[in-house]
Chain A
Amino acid sequence: MNLLLFLPETWVLITVVFLLGVILFTKENLSSILYPSVFLSAIILVLLSSYALFSSGELFYSTYRIDLLSQGFKWILSLCFLFTILFSRRLVSIHPEREAEYFFFLCTATLGMMMLTSAMDVLTLYISLELSSYSLYLLASLRESKINAESSVKYLVFGAAASGLLLWGLSLITGLSGSTFFSVISKDVPLLMEQPAFALGMVLASLAFFFKLSSFPMHFWAPDVYECAATPVTSFVATASKAAAVAVLIRFFILLGISQSFVVILGVIAFVSMTLGNAIALLQQDVKRLLAYSSIAQAGYILVGLLAGSFEGYSSSFFYAFSYVLMNAGAFLVTVLIAQSERHDNPGLVHFDGLAERSPFLALILLLSLLSLAGIPPLIGFTGKWILFAAAMDKGHWFLVLWGVLNSVVSLFYYLTLVKHAYLEKPRTSAPIPLPLPIKILGLALFCGIVFLGIYPKWVISFAQTAISKAMLL
């Protein structure tokens, strides 16, 4: 057993232990060294994940699989972690005394998600999912305000219900095949496919993953949590949690297959998710709530690719998850900075007024991220959507594709509304928004990623394709 394979996770564990020490043994405010050390740790994590990108193998009696799919998603997750740490430089709505706890739970959530991408066993899957979920429940409730009591309770209760469904579904699947190893279960799938109990197990387990993906019918928590959590937490939920959900869905569907009737269910879910998310987003005034509904719609697009159930479908979902992380990070970068400069952690549309005059760079990032979310070429979101829908069309889902594209047009309306506020309205204050150097670098990197990977996505696409083809070989 080669423990080097476990390197990124080990590093997160070390950080977790360090933060635990900080929480336990120091009373005074340590924020002066706390933030730099966490920041450093995040950078090391990204480096380690890049180092571990091409490793492969199995750990812990084959319950834990290291392959290109898991490592690719771990790399994306480490990026999300780094983004969130960068956004947390000045926390607007979390008390300084809670900072250590905040970073602690951020790390445990990342750890859980990283393990999720590698889980090859029912129990590993369940435990890592719960680790990440409970950390997120706590993170969402850390905000120093009364308004988030409702949302945190909602998140917890819905989440607990979702994990109950997961447990039920997994127990059905395990009970039918008699093994907790996915590799064993997947060999039994041809026999089990027709059994109603197995289908029920698949649906129930998937519902729990849809909870993480915030797609219909498990989306109820998303708007409230997005709105009421501290903005960096929201950005973490919107990027890392989504990526982890796509990773586990890809793994789950590759291993257990999708039956014809399940495709129909997925199609309905994708259809409703797109329609509902976009329709309600049209009415939002709070930007974080708007992004929540947009994420519900985006979950629908991703499902269109996943339900194709083909090599192209999975690889394009992988690509789209990556592009989704980039463009969402761009949108949240701007939202976080506006929240900081307004000292108000729920920026509304009006707070974006005149952004182009206060900070042309931020306005440009916002414009590109939102247009990319709407799927406008030549940005990465467009290319992602193109190959996603090409895969679905290949399997004959022309209606979903048509509906998805029409939905993108609708979504453009609310994205453009935000752009209009940033570019056309008069600013309420003329104070320029200060941009610290790391944020500038991040913005530039996101800009390059969104534009250049949109125009020339060949490497990322072939990476995703190699990852999926390796994951499909058991």
Chain B
Amino acid sequence: MAFPILTSILLCPVIGLFLILLVPRRLENLIRLIALTAASGTLALAVRLCFAFDPSNPALQFMEHVEWIKSYGIHYSNGVDGLNLTMILLTAIVIFCGVLVSWTVTYRVKDFFANMLFLVSGVFGVFMTTNLFFFFLFYEIAVIPMYLLIVVWGSTNKQYAAMKLTLYLLLGSALMFAGFLYIYALPGAHTFDLTAIKQNVAFPFDVQKILYLTLFLGFGVLAACFPFHVWSPDGHVAAPTAASMLHAGVLMKLGAYGILRVGVHLLPEGARAWAPLVASLALCNIVYGALVASKQRDLKFVIGYSSVSHMGIVLLGISTMTTTGFNGAIFQMFAHGIMTALFFACVGFIYDNCHTRMLDELGGLARQAPMISSFFILAGLCGLGLPGMGGFVAELLVTIAAVSVYPVIGIASITGLLITAYYVLTAVQKAFYGPLNPHHAHVADTNPLQFFPRAVLVGCLIFFGVFPQVFINWISTSTKMLLGA
């Protein structure tokens, strides 16, 4: 049997978690080191996976299969194609940087890192599994530690935000739960295995329509789709820095990934039937999110709403049901993941040092802390789609696809990009230029430890912006498969 690289990626954080639980809580540096080792391990394995991956093969690769509960068709089975390969890489990068960024956490260190590792185990699990039971299991594992991370280490109205986030996400997962069981009960199914379901079950059109809507709403909550996005800015703002990074960077992608992997993959006709609705909701996301973001005074809220807006681009790409649109959507998931992680990492640094995130109370930080300012500005430029950054390619692909499929919505979505440019530049101008607030005269720039993780994120953004072909090459075979082309 080949080396089970996927399970190893999953086991790294799990083993790290158990080691951390065994270490006495006063050995804080040891705990941090264990977390870092686990995160580096996953990153190394994920990079190795990317090199070993064969982009021309449309089937799932590195399959692993262990029978779990046979009578219910529940198997522990994993596999990657272009779709989840990129998501696994994204998660590995974000958790690696997240652990480094959280080096400065001092309150209940043990519990903090245990929760972080528990959360990413869930995320990795969702991205690699091909069984609906484990999909759901890992999905919820990724949600519950978030509650604890926000409620214990968070700020700004944290109890409210944490409860709201948890209940919203579980409401979404309740719909998923019902949808998955419905699939299980369809004639010919009686299994939770995705590949077996795809092969054996003929979904009538009516069923596809209802089921896709249910699943879309369920996943849409986590992907912050328009009327269900309200948990997300509150949650982002209340969460501690690393949790915000993971949350906006990775967790929201679980929703979009679920729509593609389960919704579009199993129910293509249902997806087509609802695509116009999805596109309209995505437009609301893009424009409404951007408008609200432009009115915020709290820097973290600006980014929180910008995430809503950017997730709209992902949804718009999915709604086009074309290869270009899908490629753009997946690219946007990746680029947005890295970008938001960078945003939150910078805001976290600013908040730790200036003890405020209000745009009016900041100002002139560019002279005081040039490195962190330029990181933030780079993330901002990526957000507004500057050529040469990852975000540009993604938004370009999605817009091309959208304009050709839904001309009105596609063109209207471009206004969202304009508003994005407006609020990003305003935020940058208010926070980093203009007169320096004398309260912040003592603020020093990043030390190497703080510099490194943020630089890694910037490096990824630029690398994939300059060489988008690497990324497109990974995913294009799989997106073609997804569309049945």
Contacts and interface: CB of A to CB of B under 8 A. Distances in A.
A390 B185 contact: yes
Contact of B69 (A378, A398, A461): A461
A401 interface: yes
Interface centre among A390, A406, A461 (most CB of B within 10 A): A390
A1 B390 CA distance: 80
Given A401-B178, A405-B178, A465-B71, A394 B185 contact: yes
A53 B15 CA distance: 36
A389 B151 CA distance: 31
Interface in B179-227: 181-182, 184-185
A458 B140 CA distance: 21
A409 B181 contact: no
Interface centre among A371, A382, A393, A424 (most CB of B within 10 A): A393
B171 A409 contact: yes
B113 interface: no
B135 to A, nearest CB: 11
B462 interface: no
Interface string A358-391: 0000000000000100001110001000110110
Contact of A377 (B141, B159, B181, B185): B141
A402 interface: yes
Given A377-B140, A398-B178, A456-B68, 9 more contacts: A376-B144, A377-B138, A377-B141, A386-B177, A398-B185, A402-B174, A405-B177, A408-B170, A465-B71
Nearest to B133: A386
Interface in B157-174: 159, 163, 166-167, 170-171, 174
A416 B159 CA distance: 11
Interface of A: 371, 376-378, 382, 386-387, 389-390, 393-396, 398, 401-402, 405-406, 408-409, 412-413, 416, 420, 423-424, 456-458, 461-462, 465
Contact of B174 (A390, A409, A420, A456): A409
Given A371-B144, A393-B182, A409-B171, A378 B177 contact: no
Interface of B is mostly: helix
A233 B251 CA distance: 44
Interface of A is mostly: helix
Contacts of B174: 402, 405-406, 408-409
B72 A387 contact: yes
Given A377-B137, A401-B178, A413 B167 contact: yes
Nearest to A409: B170
Contacts of A456: 68
Contact of B136 (A377, A394, A408, A420): A377
Interface in B127-148: 133, 136-138, 140-141, 144, 147-148
Contact of A458 (B69, B136, B137, B184): B69
B354 interface: no
A382 B137 contact: yes
Nearest to B179: A402
B292 interface: no
A187 to B, nearest CB: 29
B178 A402 contact: yes
A387 to B, nearest CB: 6
Contacts of B171: 406, 409
A395 B181 CA distance: 11
B44 interface: no
B425 interface: no
12 contacts: A377-B137, A377-B141, A378-B141, A389-B181, A390-B72, A394-B185, A402-B178, A409-B170, A413-B163, A416-B147, A420-B151, A456-B68
A409 B172 CA distance: 10
B155 to A, nearest CB: 14
Interface centre among B70, B72, B166, B175 (most CB of A within 10 A): B72
B163 A416 contact: yes
Given A412-B166, A420-B151, A389 B144 contact: no
B69 A423 contact: no
Contact of A393 (B71, B136, B184): B184
B49 interface: no
A386 B184 CA distance: 11
Interface centre among B70, B133, B178 (most CB of A within 10 A): B178
Contacts of A378: 137, 141
B185 A393 contact: yes
B411 interface: no
Contacts of A457: 69
A418 B436 CA distance: 46
B144 A458 contact: no
A390 B68 contact: no
Contacts of A406: 171, 174
A424 B175 CA distance: 30
A109 B184 CA distance: 41
B152 interface: yes
Contacts of A458: 68-70
A331 B241 CA distance: 33
Contacts of B68: 456, 458
A386 B68 CA distance: 14
Nearest to A371: B144
A273 B349 CA distance: 50
Interface in B70-113: 70-72
Contact of A390 (B151, B159, B184): B184
A302 B159 CA distance: 32
A458 B73 CA distance: 12
Nearest to A311: B71
B19 to A, nearest CB: 17
A459 to B, nearest CB: 10
Chain A to chain B: the 9 pairs with minimum beta-carbon distance, closest first: A405-B174, A377-B137, A393-B181, A393-B185, A402-B178, A394-B185, A409-B170, A405-B177, A377-B140
A357 to B, nearest CB: 11
